[in-house]
Structure 1
Amino acid sequence: MSDPAAAKKALRADLIRRRDALSDGDRAQVSAALARHLGDAPVAIGPDSTVCAYVSIGTEPPTGPLLAAIAETGARVLLPISLPGTPSPLEWAVADGPDALAPGRFGLLEPTGERLGPDAVSRADLVFVPALAVDTRGVRLGRGAGFYDRSLVGARGALIAVVHDDEVLPHVPGDAHDIPMTWALTPTGGFRSLGG
């Protein structure tokens, strides 16, 4: 398929179909496994760390236990807020636990804590990023709106695509504006360096 947009659309449809086929038991195992790998993160996480993450929805690899494990380290956790209007850089706010989340745009749960603006991601040591797939070069396939590619331009920390084991692929079609991931986090493989 020579049309990159068509190739991305077809790959997204296949990945979403495969995710939809997972059972609740499969998702629970994935969720626990992701959290267990936190101690092997490419950057040590502790009270002096800032970590950007996200609250998973639908059939994304569940991030609840991962977020709890990050919070237990004493790190400052920031979660994204999607602003109204056309896709733009995400705003970031301090996460004060699962009770301090409110429904946001696209059915996402968003933090109600202090808002720090879009450039807060540039001060994060690690950034966990939702993805449908990532390839060994670090090219990430998202949902297609471009929120994260717009948001990660100034990021300096480790960029970590959170995916299922079979979603680290040899090749993902990409565009010039795509921000490459430096790591993948998978349930079985843990943290895997990309692009090198």
Structure 2
Amino acid sequence: MTRSVPSTPETKPRLVLIGNGMAGMRTLEELLKLAPDMYEITVFGDEPYGNYNRIMLSPMLSGEQTLPEIMLNDEDWYAERDITLRKGERVERIDRLRREVLTQDGDRLPYDRVLIATGSRPFIPPIPGADQDGVLGFRTVADVEAMVEASDGDDRRAVVIGGGLLGLEAAAGLAAHGMHVTVLHRNGHIMDQQLDTAAGRMLERTLRERGIDVRV
């Protein structure tokens, strides 16, 4: 357990960043440009990596990119800037009275400033079976690795719920691994937030020609 010790004029204020994703790290990079020596910085991330480019998860799924190739800030980057990276650790609670963050392992870390940048989570429809094995979101490297593992074998099938941009990228990546892919979309045509009906229908035909079943 870590005792909470107030910062003094001789010590730097302690900044805790909860979330090791793109938004939080971009903020931290800008802070370091403006005031590189202002804070003693600790970063918590619940994934066992440095900061990587989530936008490139789709090329990673399709096999066009690897994890080292999509890494934005590797572990050396943190060490070179005297930033403590606590990877694979999740913050469960913030004790505002004691000014401490509490981790999943029961550790307490004092702070003077805390920045929360935990990002979003994929929406899993509240339908029967959604909690079963083989039901995945598409947000992390672990999700990509699980999808690739699921594609291993003959006559493997995947259903992608959601015909938005990310869903279609997932469908294309799974199809690249030889899976039989079906996209389910509840609105009138896929990518309805970006495309009008005619363009959406045209895209549906193109996907079907490439072997991806689309059902709206």
TM-score normalized with structure 1 length: 0.29
Higher Rg of the two aligned structures: 2
